[in-house]
């Protein structure tokens, strides 16, 4: 993961939030293998080296990638169709991030307000949730809902609004993996917990999240009350 001097040894910390906003890819599920295969096919179709696409596509909307590389394909009809094929064609290539299922089950059981805020389209995220048999939230914010994708904060501001939590600074926790998503969450006035699943520790650190953990096994629901949901964060990165 690079030359950072930190270790995942911070003592347990507790924090209370009114609601939780989860990114999907890299945070709840890892569809890297599927996405690589997908962009190789798209790259051939549009005549662009797929490795060039993959260098910049993670955490970003397909429409924003294609606006640069193949503007004629940058429309929602095409993108929703091609993203909808990923879970159908590559369902065996997606895996859940460690701890994601237990955390979501605890969130649902405790009736914590939550939503998924993703750079993917509706067919993509609902397809992956169905493949993995993970809980589907009442609220989704997807690529086609916003004018500007991450790192713009629009998506997380919309997520807060859907939960009815758009006022107080830091009352909502964003769970993210990509620097673009971390930046979006911070700009939206949220606290951000980052998982080191898709980027180096240095890249995650540079985005300045509030906590960094290896995966979601480090996040536990303690209780949910009128004050909000109390989370315990274990084994966060501590810089020496």
List, by residue number, the catalytic residues.
23, 25
Are the beta carbons of 156 and 21 closer than 8 angstroms? yes
Are the beta carbons of 86 and 34 closer than 8 angstroms? yes
Q: Is the peptide bond before 33 cis (omega within 30 degrees of 0)?
A: no
φ, ψ for residue 27, nearest 5 deg: -110, -50
Question: Bridge-partner residues for 226, per DSSP?
Answer: none
Are the beta carbons of 107 and 20 closer than 8 angstroms? yes
Cβ density class 176-215: b for 16+ within 10 Å, e for less = bbbbbbbbbbbebbbbbbbbbbbbebebbbebebbbbbbb
Residue 74 has a CB neighbour count (10 Å cut-off) of 17
In this structure, are strands 172-176 and 29-30 parallel, antiparallel, or unpaired?
Answer: unpaired
Tokens of 3: 């030359």
N-to-C CA span, the chain = 16
Strand segments (E) across 61-203: 95-96, 114-117, 139-141, 172-176, 191-195
Are the beta carbons of 182 and 176 closer than 8 angstroms? yes
């Amino acid at each position: 993961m690079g030359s950072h001097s930190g270790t995942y040894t911070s003592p347990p910390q507790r924090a209370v939030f009114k609601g939780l906003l989860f990114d999907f890819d890299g945070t709840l599920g890892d569809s890297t293998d599927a996405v690589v295969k997908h962009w190789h096919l798209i790259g051939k179709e549009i005549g662009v080296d797929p490795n060039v696409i993959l260098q910049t596509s993670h955490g970003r909307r397909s429409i924003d990638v294609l606006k640069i590389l193949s503007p004629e394909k940058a429309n929602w009809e095409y993108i929703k169709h091609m993203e909808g094929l990923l879970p159908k064609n590559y369902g065996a290539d997606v895996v859940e991030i460690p701890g994601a299922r237990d955390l979501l089950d605890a969130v649902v059981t405790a009736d914590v307000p939550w939503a998924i805020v993703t750079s993917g389209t509706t067919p993509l995220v609902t397809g992956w949730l169905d493949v993995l048999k993970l809980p589907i939230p009442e609220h989704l914010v997807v690529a086609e809902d916003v004018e500007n994708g991450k790192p713009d904060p629009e998506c997380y501001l919309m997520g807060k609004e859907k939960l009815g939590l758009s006022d107080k600074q830091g009352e909502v926790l964003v769970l993210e993996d990509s620097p673009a998503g971390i930046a979006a969450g911070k700009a939206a006035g949220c606290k951000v917990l980052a998982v080191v699943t898709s980027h180096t520790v240095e890249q995650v650190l540079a985005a300045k999240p509030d906590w960094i953990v290896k995966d979601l096994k480090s996040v536990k629901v303690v209780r949910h009350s009128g004050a909000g949901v109390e989370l315990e964060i274990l084994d966060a990165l501590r810089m020496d």
